[in-house]
Amino acid sequence: MPTAGLAAIAALFVLDASKNDIAGGGVAVEKIASCAGFGVEAVAEGFVIGLGVILGAGHGKGVSTTVFQNYGEIHWEARDNCIISAYSSRVNFCSISNQSRFSHRFCKITMPTANTETPKPHRRTAEHFRGCLLGGAAGDALGHPVEFMRIEKIHSIFGADGIRAYPEETGGLITDDTQMTLFTAEGLLRANTFLHGQEGLPDTDKRDIVQHYVHSAYKRWFLTQSPLAQSFQRRNTDPGLLSVPEMFARRAPGRTCMSALEDTPFGHKAANASKGCGGVMRVAPVGLLFPPEEAFRIGCETAAITHGHRTGKYSAGFLAMLISLLADGYSLTNALDETYWKACTFKGSEETASAVKSAINYASDDANPVDIVNYGLIGQGWIAEEALAIGIFSAIVADGDVEKGLSLAVNHSGDSDSTGSIAGQILGVMLGESAIPAKFLERLELSEVIRNTADDLFTGYSSEASWTERYTEELPQTAKVHIPQTQEHPLPTIIGAIAGDIIGSIYELNNIKTTDFDLFASNSYFTDDTVLTMAVADCLLNKKEFARTIWEYGRQYPGRGYGRSFKAWLENDSPELRDSYGNGSAMRVSAIGFACKTLHDVLEIAKQSARGKPWTSRRHQRRTSNGNGSVSGTQRKLQRRNQNVHHGIL
């Protein structure tokens, strides 16, 4: 049947459905095909054209993405083809409706026929990899001084054009955005190094390995920003980024990232509902190292380590895939087009897709782009989709001028360093290091470290000794994947703990102040310390549950000097954990220190052995409660902070 006839059939169905709340019920393309006796793809083509006719006639108000969603999930390629066919019929319904969510989700962003551009020679060169990371760092450093300023204050300090160069007194200081980007790269490179020679692993195991190495890298970054950073720096032996003293500079780390990395075990996603921009601003290395489709998935999973909201994840996946396509040689227009379509295949991507579409629409508008960013028409960048949109908008409007793009991206009343970083990453991978003005590179903090990291991403893997020293890391033992390897037995290292327990057993309540005594007396004995140390060792060797195993050992060896609360717990019918802040959890963990290969594993497994699950000590309860059951000032502050985290504010 001619296309016009199909269009008419589809138009009738849509018109009929629109009178009966098409947004609520949707239209099944398969049903139309069945009734009309035509193929699904043919009717889909007519459906799209017919819908374009109806929208153009003004009958499409209220049409939602539900119309086409079920069909698209089953027949994505067919839907793609049918919409391209609609373009060839010159039905321009993308430009019709800002009021219709259909055009935002199911229209191609660009009007020329899709996929007609032949990609240019790829940009997967050291020049463009450096451009991506250095451009991101330059945008980060330019936005850093004005991050928490209102636009009016920025103008009063830096003039009508806003900030356009680093402050003379500080130069280009990077923030947590660039720090986390570098640690993302280090985690990916260590995963890549581990996977070299592991060709037989299933893809699911490889994905798990990548995420565990990235998570481990973020844990290392967390240590550089924690109150114990100086102490850890003195004891650090890691030859990677932790060996760079400047990495320990505390640069306003995001609260969501810090709390998630403190609380989330390896192999788990963040339990919060944050969509703050801290998940998206750090994923550019994913796009440099992986092909587009894989970059989208890994970008999402990487963001999910600290940010639990779907928009936070999909925005990160969007940027990672966009960077990958640009590195492959796509124009920014076509790269956005392809990535937009990819994002739209996922339920929950609406906010990301809508923000990107708005950025592209504004970029083609006649309005002054400075006003659009200055006054927050695309948002302020505190949340993921807004930061992504501002970065994309600035890169489009910059038209190849890095200074223009960075200046546009940072001059607003929002998260200026993150939006500047995203814009710089996009422009940098397209244009290369040589396109970045010298004034942004000469005084940029850690510029050589950034260059070296970019070069390593370009290399991907090397068998040289310097590479293996820097990027070899044991797979975290909390990883779900099992890699056969020889494990040393923890028993030799805990002999000292047992000996110390027996030697000190007779002096626990009968202290002496001399070193002249027999180590082992006739009345020396092993106490609860030894019993529970062996219980923890049993858990490590045989992969047992900590709480139940400790409970069983305690009941098997009664009368060994257990504390009053612990003894009461042993008398329970089940090993349900209780709140406690006694020293019992510390005296039994020596086997963990021996069995684990990394500091992060030690901390994580020791925490599991002590808690088994999240808990709040009575001491903390006393500090935060005023004693009469009402909420204290401290609790109110915590509640306000948690509300900010829930709403996506870093």
Query: Would you say residue 477 lies in a domain?
Result: no
CB 535 within 8 A of CB 562: no
The per-residue pLDDT for range 11-54, each reduced to its tens digit, is 444 444 443 433 333 344 444 444 444 454 454 544 444 444 43
Residues 82 and 190 in one domain: no
Residues 220 and 95 in one domain: no
Q: What is the pLDDT of residue 494?
A: 75
* CB-neighbour burial class of residue 189 (10 A; exposed 0-12, middle 13-18, buried 19+): buried
Query: Would you say residue 638 lies in a domain?
Result: no
CB 249 within 8 A of CB 182: no
Q: What is the pLDDT of residue 502?
A: 87
Domain count of the chain?
Answer: 3
Q: What is the pLDDT of residue 50?
A: 47
Query: Would you say residue 55 lies in a domain?
Result: yes
What is the distance between the terminal CA atoms of the chain, rounded to a whole angstrom? 56
Q: What is the pLDDT of residue 121?
A: 63
Q: What is the pLDDT of residue 526?
A: 86
CB 377 within 8 A of CB 359: no
CB 193 within 8 A of CB 468: yes
CB 213 within 8 A of CB 190: yes
Using the predicted structure, report yes or no on whether residue 579 has a pLDDT greater than 70. no
**CA-atom Rg of the chain in angstroms:** 29
Measure CA 357 to chain center.
22
DSSP state of 309: S
Which has the minimum average pLDDT: 26-40, 283-297, 527-541? 26-40
Which has the minimum average pLDDT: 335-339, 401-405, 435-439, 631-635? 631-635
Please tell me whether residue 275 adopts helix, strand or coil conformation: coil
Using the predicted structure, report yes or no on whether residue 61 has a pLDDT greater than 60. no
CB 249 within 8 A of CB 230: no
Query: Would you say residue 481 lies in a domain?
Result: no
Residues 159 and 88 in one domain: no
- Please report, as a single letter, which amino acid is at residue 69: Q
Residues 497 and 465 in one domain: no
Q: Which residue has the higher pLDDT, 564 or 600?
A: 564
Q: Which domain holds residue 535?
A: 491-615
Tokens of 267: 């192999």
Residues 326 and 360 in one domain: yes
d(CA 631, CA 635): 6
**How many residues in total does the chain contain?**
650
Residues 76 and 131 in one domain: no
What CATH number does the domain containing 504 carry?
1.10.4080.10
The listed range with the strongest mean pLDDT (336-340, 500-504, 614-618) is 336-340
Query: Would you say residue 631 lies in a domain?
Result: no
Residues 441 and 497 in one domain: no
Q: What is the pLDDT of residue 578?
A: 60
Using the predicted structure, report yes or no on whether residue 408 has a pLDDT greater than 70. yes
Please tell me whether residue 625 adopts helix, strand or coil conformation: strand
CB 62 within 8 A of CB 23: yes
Residues 501 and 465 in one domain: no
Please tell me whether residue 444 adopts helix, strand or coil conformation: strand
Q: What is the pLDDT of residue 180?
A: 98
CB burial string 154-180: b at 16+ within 10 A, e below = bbeebeeebbeebbeeeebbbbbbbbb
Query: Would you say residue 644 lies in a domain?
Result: no
Beta bridge partners of 631: 625
Q: What is the pLDDT of residue 394?
A: 98
Using the predicted structure, report yes or no on whether residue 639 has a pLDDT greater than 70. no
Query: Would you say residue 115 lies in a domain?
Result: no
How much of the chain is in helix, strand and coil states, percent to nearest 5? 60, 0, 35
Query: Would you say residue 437 lies in a domain?
Result: yes
Residues 307 and 410 in one domain: yes
Using the predicted structure, report yes or no on whether residue 102 has a pLDDT greater than 70. no
Residue range 382-389: average pLDDT?
Answer: 98
The listed range with the strongest mean pLDDT (215-229, 607-621, 635-649) is 215-229
Residues 445 and 498 in one domain: no
One-character DSSP codes across 95-143: TT-SS-HHHHHHS-SS-SPTT-SPPPSP--SHHHHHHHHHHHHHHHHHH
Using the predicted structure, report yes or no on whether residue 84 has a pLDDT greater than 80. no
CB 207 within 8 A of CB 481: no
CB 348 within 8 A of CB 317: no
Residues 147 and 294 in one domain: yes
Q: What is the pLDDT of residue 533?
A: 87
Residues 543 and 461 in one domain: no
Q: What is the pLDDT of residue 641?
A: 43
